[in-house]
């Protein structure tokens, strides 16, 4: 692995997956081999496509998208070792199969040997609990990757961005920058909010992803600059 990043968000549904896929496309366009990982996912189902149902495993739509956008064929278990059916916090969804960070690190170490760039998408926000005593911040520490913050540009985003940035600083983890994801087409004073966050956070703005009704990941990748 030449480089890797841990993608966290200001909240759930902040746009982490779209940002992760856009980053994967961005690095692939630079000629890099890329792999992705979504270690913990809640709200999984049994895929309806016959070829995907053969193994009888729960799978997550976002993790499947990450698998699809990798530079090479990667087994699903490496990408998403913890797939929970209920769309609730992982520490609740995984009560009978709690997250073990060492298992995730083990899978991540395999991916490190396969690709030049490895992107790991977190679940929820920075302090989203994974089990009874560890949260997303602990996972980021265990993987020892620089963090990229995905900020959902909607009402309340300035406060959420500041709190997330402060929490990452408190965790003493390197932060490579932040990505603004425009999730609300009716957001008022969109540019002013982004400018305020850019001024408040002492880290680079890596890109502004525009609102899209449906995904165009090559377009989104063109909006990034690392």
Query: pLDDT for 148-189, tens place per residue?
Result: 999 999 999 999 999 999 999 999 999 999 999 999 999 999
* CA 80 vs CA 77, 176, 183: distances in Å: 5, 24, 25
Cβ–Cβ < 8 Å for 152, 14: yes
User: What are the tens digits of pLDDT across the range 108-136?
Assistant: 999 999 999 999 999 999 999 999 999 99
Q: Single out the catalytic residue among 28, 38, 59, 162.
A: 38
C-alpha–C-alpha distance, residues 215 and 201, integer Å: 28
Confidence of residue 9 (pLDDT cuts 50, 70, 90): very high
pLDDT on residue 51: 46
C-alpha–C-alpha distance, residues 103 and 85, integer Å: 19
User: What are the tens digits of pLDDT across the range 34-87?
Assistant: 999 999 999 888 875 544 455 668 999 999 999 999 999 999 999 999 999 998
Catalytic (active site) residue 38: yes
Pairing of strands 117-125, 3-9: parallel
* CA 131 vs CA 82, 96, 99, 144: distances in Å: 12, 11, 6, 19
Given the structure tokens 């030049």, which residue do they identify?
116
* Greatest extent of the chain over all pairs of C-alpha atoms, in Å: 51
| Assigned architecture for domain 3-38+100-222 | 3-Layer(aba) Sandwich (3.40)
pLDDT on residue 1: 82
C-alpha–C-alpha distance, residues 67 and 70, integer Å: 6
pLDDT on residue 50: 47
* CA 7 vs CA 56, 123, 124: distances in Å: 29, 9, 10
pLDDT on residue 12: 86
Cβ–Cβ < 8 Å for 15, 115: no
pLDDT on residue 71: 96
Element (H, E) at 10: none
């Amino acid at each position: 692995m030449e480089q890797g990043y841990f993608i966290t968000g200001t909240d759930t549904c902040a746009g982490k997956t779209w940002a992760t896929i856009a980053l994967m496309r961005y690095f692939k366009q630079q000629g890099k081999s890329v792999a992705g990982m979504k270690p913990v996912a809640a709200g999984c189902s049994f895929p309806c496509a016959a070829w995907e149902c053969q193994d009888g495993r729960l799978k997550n739509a976002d993790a499947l998208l990450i698998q699809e956008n990798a530079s090479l064929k990667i087994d699903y278990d490496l990408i998403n070792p913890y797939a929970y059916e209920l769309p609730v916090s992982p520490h609740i969804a995984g009560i009978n199969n709690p997250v073990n960070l060492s298992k995730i690190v083990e899978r991540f170490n395999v991916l490190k040997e396969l690709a030049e760039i490895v992107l790991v998408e977190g679940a929820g926000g920075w302090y989203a609990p994974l089990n009874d005593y560890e949260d997303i911040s602990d996972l980021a520490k265990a993987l020892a990757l620089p963090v990229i913050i995905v900020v959902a540009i909607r009402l309340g985003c300035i406060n959420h961005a500041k709190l997330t940035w402060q929490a990452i600083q408190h965790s003493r983890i390197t932060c490579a920058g932040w990505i603004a994801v425009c999730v609300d087409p009716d957001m008022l004073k969109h540019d002013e909010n982004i400018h305020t966050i850019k001024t408040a956070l002492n880290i680079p703005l890596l890109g502004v992803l525009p609102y899209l009704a449906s995904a165009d990941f090559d377009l989104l990748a063109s909006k990034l600059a690392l």
